[in-house]
Amino acid sequence: MGTTEFTPWASLAGGALIGCSAVLLLLVTGRIAGISGIVRRLFPPYGGSAPFEAAAFVSALVVSPFVWERLAGSPVQQTVTGSMSFAVTAGLLVGAGVFAARGCTSGHGVCGLARFSRRSIAATAVFMATAVATVYVVRHLVGGWPWA
């Protein structure tokens, strides 16, 4: 696995769209566009967490590939792990980790860094480091992924 094409312009432009999304959400609802926090708000306790807004955001995220296909006229390209045990393990680690850290790549990595939050700078440094280490171990020490 590996060797995806380097896409500096598309990635910069896509990043700018994500930035616009985060600014819009803060302006309209006063909240951080952190996906793990938004998913968390779908579940109780609700105490002022605006679950209706969170559900609207998540729904739009889920339908976005179909909107993309209409606009771009091409399907979304992706390669996903085919191993169920691998996917479930990764999903549990991601879910538990972002719950404890109160944020993920969007809430800490984008929004937190953009507002110079100490916690987000620390969290981003740590998850980048463990993610790089994990990929190193799996790809270069263990010898690969169970791709479909």
Region 87-106 residues binding another protein, contact defined as CB under 8 A? 87-102, 104-106
Cα–Cα distances (Å) from 15 to 29, 45, 93, 109, 129, in that order, read: 21, 32, 25, 12, 21
Q: Please, which of residues 16-35 interact with another protein by CB under 8 A?
A: 16-33, 35
CB 131, CB 62: distance < 8 Å = no
Nearest to 114 by CA among 28, 37, 50, 18: 18
Structure tokens belonging to residue 74: 């091409």
Query: For the chain, what is the radius of gyration of the CA atoms?
Result: 17
Among 76, 141, 142, 143, binds another protein (CB under 8 A): 76
Nearest to another protein of 73, 78 (CB atom): 78
Q: Please, which of residues 109-138 interact with another protein by CB under 8 A?
A: 109-111, 113-119, 122-124, 126-136, 138
Amino acid at 103: G
Task: Give least dist CB 32 to another protein, A.
Answer: 6
Task: Give least dist CB 73 to another protein, A.
Answer: 13
Nearest to another protein of 73, 140 (CB atom): 140
**Prior bond to 45 cis, omega within 30?**
yes
Q: Please, which of residues 35-74 interact with another protein by CB under 8 A?
A: 35-36, 39-40, 42-45, 50, 52-54, 56-68, 71
By CB under 8 A, residue 144 contacts another protein: no
